[in-house]
Structure 1
C-alpha cells in the first residue's frame, strides 16, 4: 500500500504541510539606515526560517515620477507647517532630504529603484513550537528595527510566496534603492544550513562547538556527507588532539567503532576511562606478523593482497622502493615462504601458521642470486638485527572492541612509520573483511606526517582514503606538518577525498599554502592566524563555519592534553 500524498491545511494563522507547520510574516517597516549584511541576524536565527526577498526593478521614468511626487508631498507638508506656525517634523525633514538626494542619484544613473517584498516563513513541528518560534523571530526582527505582521487569512499565499517559484502572492512591496539592496547580500548565514523543508532533522552527528559569530550550535554528521573522511590541520598547541578526542568520545555514544593510531600516548586516559583496549607496539612481547591472512577473509585473492602489502611495508622499511630486480626476487621469496608454510590460494589452508619476515629473507638467500642476497642483507636489521622484535614471531594479539588504540610511542624513530603502517593494515584488515551489518568505523591517524613523509606510506594512506566510503568507514587524518600533506600529490588526494575539513590555528609560514589549498578569504586566513586554542573553521564543500570547541568538565578531564608518559 502506497503512503498517502502529503496534504496542506490552510488556517488563518498557519498552514500545515504534511506533518510540519509554517507561518509567514511580512516585513512592513524598515529602519531609516541599514549597514552591510543587515539581514544577518535573521539569517543566523537558530531554527528553520526562510528569508525570502522578491525584487522588481522600476523603470527609470516611473522611478523619476514617483520620486517627484514623493518630494512634492514632503515639501508641501513642510511648507504647510511653516505657514501655520507649527514646529517642523524632524522625520519629514530627514525624509525630504533623503528623497532629494536619491532623486539626484537616480537622475545621474548612480542608483536605481526596486519594488521589494521581504517575507519570513517560520517552520516548526507543532503549533505550540510554531507560536514560540514566530514570537522569537518577531523579537529578532524588532531588534533590527524591522516591523513585521503575520499574513493573517493569507497564510497559503504567504507559504507559496516563500517557495522558489518566483511568484509573490502577497504583493506587499516597498521601494528601495540599489545601496540598500546591496547591503542585503550575500544571503549567507554564518551557521550551517538547516534541513530543507520536508526533510527530517539529522538523527546522528556530534557537537563540534559554538559559532562565535551567531552563538549557534555547530552540529556536524560526517556520516551523511559524500564520504566520512576528515582532515585536521593545525600548528602544534592549537588543540587538534583535544578536538579529535571530543569527537571520538561523542562518536562512541553514537555507536561508532573507533580505532586510533596514537604516536604520543595522548589517548590512553580516554581509552582507559571508557573501557577501550590499548596495544603498545614496541613493548616487550608485542609482535605483528605482516603475512597473516585475516581468518574471516575467504576471497580468493587474500594471499595476493598480503603479498602486495609486504611489498609496501618493505619499501617503507628501506626508505624507498627496491630496484626492479630486487622486487622480482622479493615477490618470488614471498610466494616461496607461503608455499613452504603450506598456504596456497585455497582458503582452507589459510588457518595454518603464516610465515614470518625472516622466512621471506631466508627464501631470498636461498635463491642464490645477487638481487636476492642483496635484499636479504638489507632486511637483516628487521629479521635478525636490532629491529627484529616487532616481527620476530607470530602475531601476539589483535585487539577488538568499540575503541582500540594502537600506541607507537615505544617504537624507535626508525620503526615509527613502519609501526603506523602495520597498525593501519591490521585495522584495515578488520574493516575490509565482509561482515553482515558491519558497524560504522572511524580510523584516526594522529601525527600523520610520520607516514606522509614516506612515499609508500602516503600512497597506502591515499588508497585507504579512497576505499573507506565503500566499507562504512571514515579515515580521520590529523597532522601539524601542513607541508607534508599539501606539498605532495598523494597528500592532495587525501584532502580531496575528505568531505570534512577542519582548520585550527595556522603558522604564518604555512598560511598562504593553506589559504590557496582551501580557498580561504583574507578574513578567514587572518582568523586562523589569530585563533585561540580550540578555535577554527569547519569546511565541507560550499559550507564553512567558525566554531569554538566546548566540553563538559568530565569531557575536559578526559581530553586535556597532559601526556601519559608511562
Structure 2
C-alpha cells in the first residue's frame, strides 16, 4: 500500500498521476485535453448563447473569468476611445471621404455606453471565456476540437487554440479562480448578462435548501444531456395533460408507464381503453376491467348515482341524458324533440316512483326502453318521431348495451373501461358512458385521493360535438376535485381544428408531443409556439422520443422502462421497448 506524505499538497492527493505537455494538447492521466479560447464575438447575441457549445456531445468545460473594471478607469478609457473614433470621423470629413458605417456605429455605441456609465445603469468587466475539451484518445480529441470550433463559428464566435500555452490554459479552467491566459475582452453589464444563467436543457433542480420533491414520475432520459426527466403533474396549476402523436410514435407505451408509475405514487387511475391495450397491465396490478359490448355487460344511463344526496342529482341525470341521446343520434335533436324529451324524462322517472325526493332514489331506475315507450305513447308528433329515431338502441341492433340494469359496479385503484368490442356506431356513446361513470366517482370522492382519468384515442369522442363539450367540462372541473384528465390522441386535426379542442389544450398544464405527420406540423407549430428546431425534431423523432412542454419548460426526452415495466407496457415480454 502506498503511503501519502504528511506534507503532501492538494494536487498530489487529487491530481492526475502525470501531465504530458505538448504545443497543442495535454495528456492528463489516461485522457487527453485541449483548451480553446473565445477571441471574437458577434455584434449581438441571444440569451444563454453558451448553450450552443454546452449542448455538444462529449465532455466540455466552459469557464468564465470575470474581473470588474473600476469606474474611473472605465470612464477614462471610454473617453479616449470616443476621442479616437471622433478624430477618425473628422479626418474622413476633412479629406472628403464617405463616412465609414462601422466607425459611425462604434461611435454611437460608445456614446450610449458612456451615458449609461454616467447614470450608473451599467458597468464594464474584463471577461475571458475558455473551453476545455476532453477526449479518450488523441484522434477523438482532434475531432472534438474541430466540432467545438465549427459550432462556435456557426453563431459567429471566433475561437483559437492556445498553442504553446496549453498548460496555463488547462490550469485556468480548473476551479482555482486563476486566469493564467489573460485573453480577455471588455463586456458591459447587458452583454455579460446574456451568459447568465447558463442555459440548460434539463428541468430546473430544487434550489439549495428546498429539498427533493416527494411526488412525480419518471418520464424518461433527456436526449440532449442524458439527465433524468422527472415530472410531477400534481404540482402544476392544473393536473391535466394532453399527448399528441401520430400512430406508431410510442404514445400508448408512454401512457401505460405513466399509469403504472402513478399507481406507485398512490394515485387512483381510470382508463378508457379503445383497443384493449391496458388489460395486461390492469390484470397485473389487480385492477378492474369493464368490457363494454361484451355479452351481459350493460350500462343504464338513467341510473341515479347511489349515495348522491345533492338536491339536483336527478336534474343532472336528465341533462346527461340529453347529451347521450345527442351523441347516439349524431346531432342535437330539433327544439321540438328536445322539449318532448325533457318532459318524457320527468314522466319516466315519475312512473318508476322516482322524484326529487332523495328517499326515492334507491328504487330501481327505469331503462332507456321505458323512456322510448313514454315518448311513443304521447300525442306529440315530435316525441313519437324521436322514439322512432331511438329504436335501434331500444329494440334494434344496438340495444344490448342498454337492455337491462347496470351489470358492473366499478371499484378499485385501477379501472379500465374497454370499448373495443363496441361497434363503431356505439364507440362514442360507450366512451361517454364510461366518462360519466368515472366523473360520478370523482365528483363524490374524498378530495385527499388523487385521481387520474386517461382518455386514450380521444379523437373518437372529440369528433362529436356533444362528446367534446362533456370532455371539456370534465377537464375544467377536475382540478377542484384533485383529479387530472390525460387526453391522448393520434388525430391532431380533431383536437386542434375546433374551439373545444383548443380549450382542452389550454386547460392542460402538461403537454407532450411525439412524432408528427408533415401535414399537421404547421398547425401544431403555431398552436404550441414551437421553434423551427423543435418542429424538425418532431418530424424526425423516433419511437418513444417526445417533447415535454409545461409553461417555460421545454424538454426533449426518450421514454425508458425497466424490464418488468416494459413487459407490462409492451403487452408481450419480447417486444421492443419502443413499440407503441
TM-score in same-fold range (> 0.5): yes
Pick from 534, 539, 544: which aligns with 1:524? 534
Aligned to 2:471: 461
Tell me which residue corresponds to 1:21.
Answer: none
Q: CA deviation at 1:384?
A: 0.8
d(CA) in 2 for partners of 1:446 and 1:304? 29
Extract unaligned runs of 5+ from structure 1: 1-29, 45-50, 69-102, 120-141, 152-173
1:376 corresponds in structure 2 to 387
CA contact (8 A) 1:242 1:561 kept: no
Of the candidates 165, 169, 175, which is equivalent to residue 148 of structure 1? Answer: 175
Tell me the distance in 1 between the aligned counterparts of 2:186 and 2:230: 37
User: Structure 1 residues 318 and 525 mapped into 2: Cα distance closer, same or farther (>3 Å)?
Assistant: same
Is 1:304 matched with 2:318?
no
2:51/2:199 contact within 8 Å kept: no
Contact 1:43 1:187 in 2 (8 A): no
Matches within 5 A, 1:274-353: 274-353=285-364
Is 2:49 the partner of 1:37? Answer: yes
CA distance in 1, matches of 2:413, 2:263: 7
Contact 2:128 2:185 (C-alpha < 8 Å) held by counterparts: no
Size of the aligned set, in residue pairs, is 453
Aligned-partner SS, 1:33 = strand
Query: Could you say if the C-alpha distance between residues 427 and 184 of structure 1 is closer, same or farther in structure 2, counting changes exceeding 3 Å?
Result: same
Alignment partners' CA distance in 2, 1:383 and 1:322: 17
User: What is the TM-score with the length of structure 1 in the denominator?
Assistant: 0.73
Find out whether 1:560 has 2:560 as its counterpart.
no
Q: CA deviation at 1:273?
A: 1.2
Kindly state the Cα deviation for residue 436 of structure 1 after the two structures are TM-superposed: 3.9
Q: Is the 8 A contact 2:82 2:107 kept in 1?
A: no
**2-structure distance, mates of 1:66, 1:147:** 34
Partner Cα separation in structure 2 for residue 241 and residue 289 of structure 1: 30
Equivalent position of 1:158 in the other structure? none
**1:354-365 matches, cutoff 5 A:** 354-365=365-376
8 Å CA contact 1:31, 1:146 repeated in 2: no
Q: Describe how 1:441-456 pairs up with structure 2 within 5 A.
A: 441-456=451-466
Question: Is the 1:462–1:493 Cα contact (8 Å) retained in structure 2?
Answer: yes
Which ranges in structure 2 are unaligned for 5 or more consecutive residues?
Answer: 1-34, 42-47, 57-63, 84-101, 114-122, 130-168, 179-183, 576-580
1:439 aligns with 2:421: no
Query: Per-residue displacement from partner, 1:462-509 (whole Å, max 9, x unpaired)?
Result: 000000001110000000000000000000110010000000000100
Alignment RMSD (CA, Å):
3.5
Question: 1:442/1:104 Cα in 2 relative to 1: closer, same or farther (>3 Å)?
Answer: same
Q: Which residue of 2 aligns with 1:169?
A: none
For 1:331 and 1:223, locate their aligned partners in 2 and report how far apart those are by CA, in whole Å: 39
1:194 to 191, 200, 205: 205
Instruction: Find out whether 1:508 has 2:508 as its counterpart.
Output: no
8 Å contact kept, 1:39–1:184:
no
The residue number in structure 2 matching 1:423 is: 434
Q: 1:410 to 1:209 in 2, by over 3 A?
A: same
Residues 54, 459 of structure 1: alpha-carbon distance in 2 compared, 3 angstrom cutoff: farther
CA-to-partner distance for each residue in 1:27-78, whole Å, 9 max, x for gaps?
Answer: xxx962179833678899xxxxxx999988985752475999xxxxxxxxxx
CA shift, 1:450, in A, is 0.2
SS of 1:485's equivalent in the other structure is helix
Distance 1:254 1:37 in 2: 38
2:501 alignment partner, one of 469, 491, 503: 491
Query: Paired residue for 1:249, among 253, 257, 260?
Result: 260
Question: Structure 1 residues 554 and 145, CA, compared in 2 at 3 Å: closer, same or farther?
Answer: farther
How far off its partner does 1:269 sit? 1.1
Q: Secondary structure at the match of 1:148?
A: coil
In structure 1, the residue corresponding to 2:125 is in which secondary structure? strand
Distance 1:187 1:367 in 2: 75
1:381 deviates by 0.3
